[in-house]
Structure 1
Amino acid sequence: METSKPEYYEVFGDFHGVLMDKRFTKYWEDVETFSARPDDLLIVTYPKSGSTWISEIVDMIYKEGDVEKCKEDAIFNRIPDLECRNEDLINGIKQLKEKESPRIVKTHLPAKLLPASFWEKNCKIIYLCRNAKDVVVSYYYFFLIMKNYPNPKSFSEFVEKFMEGQVPYGSWYDHVKSWWQKSKNSRVLFMFYEDMKEDIRREVVKLIEFLERDPSAELVDRIIQHTSFQEMKNNPCTNYSMLPEIMIDLKVSPFMRKGIVGDWKNHFPEALRERFEEHYQQQMKDCPVKFRAEL
């Protein structure tokens, strides 16, 4: 492993009880005072929960199934990440301010850190979540390819940090529960990655109807074709190969790695799985949301 990578808490720090990338919180006033527009659509996920997949689907809906329009730029430029900031390389707020309406906005923020203007303007919000064990596996590989992130000492050590909420965006449990509470609002659509893997047609129709569009068979077919895992993995506009090499090392692992449900079985030793599941039950005992860790 590279020895030049930074130490963990050089990069991340506690921010209102949530571990965050210090480069993002350095300019937090820009995020907090962000002015949402009434026709903004917000896509929210905990990291590594399918945000690129659902973002591409939503962009296809907005572009009425025009694949060529979706290939005009990278997904992170078409749908900027609200809080993402890396000096001159990336500035989500600046990108969004320059976009014409209607804007699609992406964020990984827990509900308590979301700028108030999204609630004040009654914006529509899509929340996509994924089972915790697959999230932690995918997050581990993400750490390995991000050049400015410290390498985890081991998968087991990373799982421990995940359980403690000592990963960027904090506790998965708190994140899911905070957005589940918000989903009582009819403007918030709460979705599951596993449901999308099980029946993508059903879930695409659900998204189109939530966005008050016509779910024609032709549109749905085009979306399903364009946003299949293999298509997106090979598409430079969605596979993150357009990010500068100083930020990401796709030789270590592709950004879009497997996109399946149940890959955790290939990574969790039995003792760690038992410990994780015990901790999970404790954390989620008061939450009615049920996840499927296999299909």
Structure 2
Amino acid sequence: MHKNALPFPYKISPLDPNLNESLLQKFKGETKQFVKVGPEEYFFPSKYETEAEKIYNFPVRSDDVWVVTFPRSGTTWTQELVWLLCNRLNFQRARTEHLAARFPFLEFNVFADDTRLEEFRKENQGNIDHLGIIEHMSTPQYEVLNNTQGRRFIKTHIPFSLLPSNLLTSGAKIVYVARNPKDVAVSYYHLYQMFRTLDFRGDFDTFWDCFENNLVAWGPYWSHIKEGWNQRDNPNVLFLFYEDMNKNLVSSIDKVAEFLDTSLTKDQVNELVDYLDIKNFRNNPAVNFDSLKTVGICRSDQVFIREGKSGGWKGKFSEKLGARADKWIQENLRTTDLKFSE
């Protein structure tokens, strides 16, 4: 950490022991302690406590490009769009070099529980390539990014209040994407089952209960989204709705291109639309964490890029749960002028 580092400004508190023990039975990726952070009580695994100040003091560069989202809000799709626009539509590199290498996930190591890491190492002992993948995962990406030459592309799910204090005034470009919470929850449920670093054990109704009560990583959902929405007029921030991207990708490409000071011909736009089409995108191994499946961090029977559509929640919510979710959404929208697209 640099010599002018700022102290982390928020209190980090362990979860109530009884609640923590209950959650450890549901979320097997963490083996020690969940914590809550700051006045909004953002929810993280125990390793965040040792990383919070380092992330908060991460040196931002004026030419950085960030994608900030609550999980499962179209993050990967947006990352690939942003990276291609800034790299002259280099589809060849995008298809062959994993997105995580081109666009590092700032806090990825926070979710690498030491006990789980040791399990992965034992499962892959003797395979140098596999062990290299595991070590990369456990390496703080802020260290990798600090040593990156040229323009940096950074993904994070951390809300603005816990990110570097100068991020919003540094000149860095930030794309924030929001998505309907019911679709987020369904997609997040599948992610929690796919990644053994998260490893949720339970049905969707149980997961929704945790989601609604701010007991999933990076939650509370509403605090996160409202922090993003409150920055929508910041000239360094482009706030997008996933539903709008889905409905009119061409228009969204134009918005992002203008924000990033790039321009495309009509043919280039069409080529990009075809590349990002969900039917093609989900078959791209460079964005699907296939290497993590190889070493057993992700379950091989799950897919990272799923349906990529809006309204997919309708097949997962019972009528009773849907009504409960709608009430919760309406209550939280009363205090903001944020509105989700249909």
TM-score above 0.5, yes or no = yes
Q: C-alpha distance in 2, partners of 1:246/1:97?
A: 29
In the alignment, structure 1 residue 15 sits paired with structure 2 residue 37? yes
Q: C-alpha distance in 2, partners of 1:98/1:48?
A: 28
Normalised to the residue count of structure 2, the TM-score between the two structures is 0.80
Contact 1:82 1:107 (C-alpha < 8 Å) held by counterparts: yes
Partner of residue 47, structure 1? 71
Sequence identity (%): 28
Q: C-alpha distance in 2, partners of 1:5/1:125?
A: 31
- The aligned length equals 290
* Aligned-pair CA distance for 1:99: 1.8
Letter in 2 for 1:89: H
Partner of residue 130, structure 1? 179
Deviation string 1:57-113 (CA, Å, 9 cap, x unpaired) is: 111111111211212311111100112213733232122122222111111111211
Q: C-alpha distance in 2, partners of 1:235/1:21?
A: 30
Letter in 1 for 2:32: E
3-state SS in 2 of match to 1:161? helix
2:54 paired residue among 5, 30, 33: 30
Partner of residue 260, structure 1? 309
In the alignment, structure 1 residue 164 sits paired with structure 2 residue 213? yes
Distance 1:206 1:231, change over 3 A: same
Partner of residue 136, structure 2? 89
More helix per residue = 2
Partner of residue 205, structure 1? 254
Matches within 5 A, 1:223-262: 223-243=272-292, 244-251=294-301, 253-262=302-311
Comparing 50-59 and 241-250, the one that deviates more: 241-250
* Aligned-pair CA distance for 1:22: 2.5
* Aligned-pair CA distance for 1:9: 7.2
Contact 2:70 2:224 (C-alpha < 8 Å) held by counterparts: yes
Deviation string 1:208-256 (CA, Å, 9 cap, x unpaired) is: 01101113213212211222112221111011112253311131x2111
**Where in structure 1 do 4 or more consecutive aligned residues deviate above 6 Å?**
none
Q: C-alpha distance in 2, partners of 1:186/1:128?
A: 16
Q: C-alpha distance in 1, partners of 2:163/2:98?
A: 24
In the alignment, structure 1 residue 73 sits paired with structure 2 residue 97? yes
Matches within 5 A, 1:98-117: 98-117=147-166
Letter in 2 for 1:81: F
Q: C-alpha distance in 2, partners of 1:33/1:228?
A: 37
Distance 1:8 1:42, change over 3 A: same
1:57 paired residue among 49, 73, 81: 81
Which has the higher Rg, Structure 1 or Structure 2?
2
Q: C-alpha distance in 1, partners of 2:336/2:27?
A: 38
Q: C-alpha distance in 1, partners of 2:47/2:81?
A: 29
Deviation string 1:150-191 (CA, Å, 9 cap, x unpaired) is: 424221111111111111001111111111111121211100
Distance 1:275 1:63, change over 3 A: same
Q: C-alpha distance in 2, partners of 1:67/1:11?
A: 42
* Aligned-pair CA distance for 1:23: 2.9
Q: CA RMSD in A?
A: 1.9
Partner of residue 185, structure 1? 234
Q: C-alpha distance in 2, partners of 1:276/1:24?
A: 29
3-state SS in 1 of match to 2:317? coil
Comparing 73-82 and 97-106, the one that deviates more: 97-106
Gaps in structure 1 of 5+ consecutive residues: none
Letter in 1 for 2:191: F
Q: C-alpha distance in 1, partners of 2:251/2:265?
A: 12
Contact 1:63 1:70 (C-alpha < 8 Å) held by counterparts: no
Contact 1:137 1:264 (C-alpha < 8 Å) held by counterparts: yes
Partner of residue 142, structure 1? 191
Contact 2:333 2:339 (C-alpha < 8 Å) held by counterparts: no
3-state SS in 1 of match to 2:289? coil
Q: C-alpha distance in 1, partners of 2:84/2:154?
A: 14
* Aligned-pair CA distance for 1:8: 6.1
